[in-house]
Amino acid sequence: MYKIESKNVDFYYGPSQALKNINIAIRSNTVTALIGPSGCGKSTYLRLFNRMNDLIDDIKIIGQVMIDGEDIYGKGINVDSLRKNVGMVFQKPNPFPKTIFENVAYGLRVNGIKDKKFIEERVETSIKQVVLWDEVKDKLKKSAFELSGGQQQRLCIARALAIQPSVILMDEPTSALDPISTAKVEELIYELKAKYTIVIVTHNMQQAGRVSDRTAFFYLGELVEYDETKKLFTNPKQERTQNYITGRFG
């Protein structure tokens, strides 16, 4: 069974159609990269999986998005619980104006966990998972804004991991980072694959090539090609894909 599956998904912002008939199936414990030029709908598509698009007025979705076989736009779906299962990391590091500890503990607290010891342990494990523990263990009570951009982004990943989701969505997670921080995050993505299903939007095709198992190429709201990353980059079936990955447009 597929972890995530979208069937004939159309998506509209008001009158304009942003996604046209998207069909993708994603297996558990894989990394899937969504690539394409700006405005192609890849971020919109990513945000369907945790219903982040719901924040926007006047949207419409047709078709089905299934996670673990359940239609997440169906009746009786609790959006808050869905988002606990589908974590998200954003383009720019966006820690809360709170301490490092409280940032990671936030997701646990809003889920009603009060046990102090449990929270402390989970915060520590999560920060260790993103290989940030040695850098911040002495300043957990300091503001998260004191960290560097790369550290902040890893903290945001730790924050998402703390509530133990099964899927992690990443929306250009390294676009605001320097090359060294980028390398660290990419390494992390590779390690996280063992436990999570990851979908990542990226502008950087080398990055897609390095971290992903499968890649989907979007263009003007359409899914042009979806295949194993190696195949897509070395031997694309579509001419448009070929043109994009060789840099002829986009």
Partner 1 sequence: MLSSSITSLTVLLIVVFLFKEGIGLFNQKPVEPGYVIAINKNNKVKELSSVQLKNIYDQKITHWSEVGGTHDSIVLFQLEDISNYYSDEQIGDNMQNLGTCLSRLVDSLPNIIAFFPDKYLDKKFQGTLLEVDKVSLADFFAGKEWIPSAKPSAQLGVLPLILGTLWVSLGAILLALPLGLAAAVYMSEIANERVRRIMKPLIELLAGIPSVVYGFFGLVIIVPLIQKTFDLPVGETGLAGSIVLGIMALPTIITISEDAMRNTPRAMKEASLALGASRWQTIYKVIIPYSISGISAGAILGIGRAIGETMAVLMVTGNAAVIPHTILAPVRTIPATIAAELGETSNGGLHYKALFALGCILFLITLFINLTVEFISNRQKHNKN
- Which residues lie near partner 1 (CB under 8 A)? 50, 52, 55, 57, 80-81, 83-84, 87-88, 90, 92, 94-97, 106-107, 109-111, 156, 159-160, 163
With respect to partner 1, which residue has the nearer C-beta, 91 or 243? Answer: 91
Of 8, 168, 143, 141, the C-alpha closest to 83 is 168
CB of 176 to partner 1, least distance (A): 11
CB of 83 to partner 1, least distance (A): 4
CB 173 within 8 A of CB 153: yes
With respect to partner 1, which residue has the nearer C-beta, 84 or 195? Answer: 84
Our measurement of the distance from residue 59's CA atom to the centroid of its chain's CA atoms, rounded to an integer in Å, reads 21
Tell me the two tokens of residue 37: 């030029």
CB 48 within 8 A of CB 56: no
User: Angle at CA 34, nearest 5°, toward 213 and 194?
Assistant: 35
With respect to partner 1, which residue has the nearer C-beta, 77 or 110? Answer: 110
CB of 75 to partner 1, least distance (A): 19
CB of 165 to partner 1, least distance (A): 9
CB 30 within 8 A of CB 4: no
With respect to partner 1, which residue has the nearer C-beta, 96 or 118? Answer: 96
